[in-house]
Every structure is written in C-alpha cells, then in structure tokens.
Amino acid sequence: MLRVIVLCFFLVIGCGQQKENVTDDSKKTSAKEKSQVTQKKQPVIKINNSAYYVEDIINYAYYTLSEMNEESKNNPKVKKEIMENFINHKLLLKKAGDSGITVDDAKIKRVLDNFKSAFGKENLSTYTNKPVLDISRLSDVIKEQLIIQKFLAEKLKSIRVNEEDLKNYYDEFVKRYESVTLYHIYHLVTDNADNAEKARQLMRQRNAFSEVAKKFSEGPSKKEGGDMGYVDISNYPGPFQKVKDMRIGSVSSVIKSDYGYHIFKLVDIKRNIRPDFKEIKSKLYSELFVKKQDELLDNLTKELRSNAKITISHNVSFALSPKSAERSDN
C-alpha cells in the first residue's frame, strides 16, 4: 500500500473549472448532493489539530478516482483504502517536515516540466478528457511527494541484507517451494509423417537417436541431436506429457499432435528437485530487501498513527465535481 502512496507522482491531480449544462431537473437538490454540500463544510478526517475536507481527499487521489466507475468509487473498501492512504501520506509529510527534509524549487520545476512534456504543452488539460488540470495544485502535490520520498530514502539506508539473512531466507524459501521432477529427454519433431516413421524405423535398427534427430528433426534441439537436457515437462505442451509414462532408456512411438510428429527418448529422471542457493541468491536478495523495506515502512506508519489522534467520518462521497475544488490550508 505504501509503495502506491509514496512512489506515484501522478496520483494527485486537482480539478479545474468547466462549465456545467444545467437543466430544470438539476435544480432539485438530491439527498446525495446535500450530503456533498455538508461534507464541504464539515471535515471528514482530523489528524491531531489539522482538519481535512472531502475536497482534500479528492485532490489527493483525483487521477485514481477519475479512472474509476461509480460503483468502485462508492465501494466502502475502496473509500477506506483511499482515506487510509491519505492519512499515511499526511503523517509521513509531517514527520518529514519535522525531520528538516526540504526539496528545492528547481527540482520541483524539473519534475513538473517532465510531466508537462510527457503529455504535450498544448494538450496538458485534455490528454485523457478529464477536467482541466490545475498546475499550481499539481506543483504542490509533487513537492509533497518529493519530500516524502527523500525522507523515506534516508530511512531505507538503514536496511542491510547479509549472508546469514540470505541463508535463513533460503531455508524458508525451500520449505514453501514446490519441488519439481525433471526429465532428461531427447526430442525429434517433424511436420512430415513419412519422415517421422523413417526416423523411428532407423531407431529400431539401433541407430543412435542423436544421429537420426540431426537428420530428420526440425526442432530447436536438432543440432544437439535432440538433447533437451533436464526439463520440467509440465511447462511444455501435450505431447511431452507422454514422457511421464515412459521407462528410462525407452523410446516412444511416433506421437501426432497439432505441432507435428514427435519421438521422445527418456534418459533420466530427477525427482524432488529444489533450487540451489547460489543459483537463486540474487533473486533471494531482491525479495528479502523488498520484504525488509515493506516491514520498515509498515512499522513507521504504525508508529506515526499510534502517536496521532485521528478521527474519520465514513459517510463520504467521492463524486468528482467539475467545479474547482476547495482545499484546506493544513
């Protein structure tokens, strides 16, 4: 969840101004509209002494909300996640500010210029047919995101992954790893039925599979005499599954499929194979680093939330208004 909050610049885009088409029916104020008016006056989230209104949350998640249908925007789980993300965002921003983290205006301008360049200078407000973008508000949002990123980057420097950590993680990995069976096979394939039968006849006459495959096979392992080495045949199409019923040292009959005509030789079987530590060490390092990063960020937000007084109103509508959104000064 935090990665979504902290690493996306384009999550937060303000609403601009557009003209509305007013009909006679629109003069009737619905209960939903009354609720939205009330929300504009009443804070929906309070964090310590700071109050935030529905417009603040919409501005925070405008781009995400604009991509949602009405059903998703009214989904209680979606609303809750957006509001929880907003709270974490504000807490991290406050902590970063208290830690003296700042970002110079030149960097903010570079990011903003890159954003404008990505969508075209003349078409920035209509690149997705969304309400007009408020560049000043976008600049504020980019500044907040850069401050939080810089703060978290400092925190993440403390993460260390040593050899012992990796070996312990490897032991955990092996326990949950589903072992596989590997088959050492030779494979001859051709789209010519007569050639397939000729090849199988030569094998019956004790000609080496590899020599026959080099002559008749049209598959990728032709140069190797059909030798595919040890493979997990569960990752291969139907004809390969016949190998499971073969005895070591045996050669199959000609097997017809949509891919052509196949002949297999089973050389060996290795069961319950698990990956070697050295082979997957870099993969384990990446996974473990991300895991420690997530744990650090989760613990940080939990600590910030436990030390903050937070109140939330759950009666919130995230309907996107074409009118310019109001903002709190917090």
pLDDT in tens, 34-74: 455 444 578 899 999 999 998 888 878 776 676 777 788 77
Average pLDDT over residues 161-177: 88
Residues 38 and 112 in one domain: yes
Q: What confidence tier does 8 reach under pLDDT thresholds 50, 70, 90?
A: very low
In a domain, 321, yes or no: no
Instruction: Return d(Cα 149, Cα 156) in angstroms, integer.
Output: 10
Instruction: Dig out the tokens for 271 from the structure.
Output: 């069961």
Q: Residue 111: count other Cβ atoms within 10 Å of its Cβ.
A: 17
Average pLDDT, the chain: 80
In a domain, 281, yes or no: no
Would you say residue 329 has pLDDT above 60? no
Q: Looking at residue 244, which CATH number applies to its domain?
A: 3.10.50.40
7 vs 285, which has greater pLDDT? Answer: 285
Task: Give 32's Cβ-side CA count (13 Å radius).
Answer: 7
Q: Which of 24-33, 86-95, 136-145, 284-293 has the lowest mean pLDDT?
A: 24-33
Q: How many domains does the chain divide into?
A: 2
Residues 306 and 247 in one domain: no
In a domain, 171, yes or no: no
Residues 213 and 123 in one domain: no
Contacts of 128 (CB under 8 A, 6+ apart): 66
Average pLDDT over residues 267-296: 89
Residues 7 and 63 in one domain: yes
Residues 89 and 125 in one domain: yes
Residues 152 and 11 in one domain: yes
Average pLDDT over residues 216-244: 93
Q: Residue 249: count other Cβ atoms within 10 Å of its Cβ.
A: 9
Q: Hey, what amino acid is at 228?
A: M
Instruction: Return d(Cα 209, Cα 203) in angstroms, integer.
Output: 6
Residues 151 and 299 in one domain: yes
Average pLDDT over residues 296-322: 83
Residue pLDDT, tens place only, 235-255 = 899 999 999 999 999 999 999
Would you say residue 321 has pLDDT above 80? no
Residues 138 and 192 in one domain: no
Instruction: Return d(Cα 310, Cα 48) in angstroms, integer.
Output: 6
Average pLDDT over residues 135-162: 87
Nearest to 263 by CA among 253, 273, 271, 272: 253
What is the structure's pLDDT at 226? 96
In a domain, 319, yes or no: no
In a domain, 326, yes or no: no
In a domain, 245, yes or no: yes
Would you say residue 176 has pLDDT above 80? no
Average pLDDT over residues 274-297: 90
Residues 42 and 103 in one domain: yes
What is the structure's pLDDT at 307? 96
Residues 11 and 146 in one domain: yes
Q: Hey, what amino acid is at 258?
A: D
Residues 191 and 115 in one domain: no
Average pLDDT over residues 298-317: 90
What is the structure's pLDDT at 76? 83
State which residues form the domain around 142: 2-160+289-312
In a domain, 172, yes or no: no
Residues 60 and 208 in one domain: no
Position of tokens 């870099």? 282
Instruction: Return d(Cα 325, Cα 59) in angstroms, integer.
Output: 7
Average pLDDT over residues 166-174: 89
In a domain, 74, yes or no: yes
| DSSP state for residue 318 in the 8-state scheme | -
What is the structure's pLDDT at 21? 37
Q: Which of 103-107, 224-228, 269-273 has the lowest mean pLDDT?
A: 269-273
Q: Looking at residue 141, which CATH number applies to its domain?
A: 1.10.4030.10
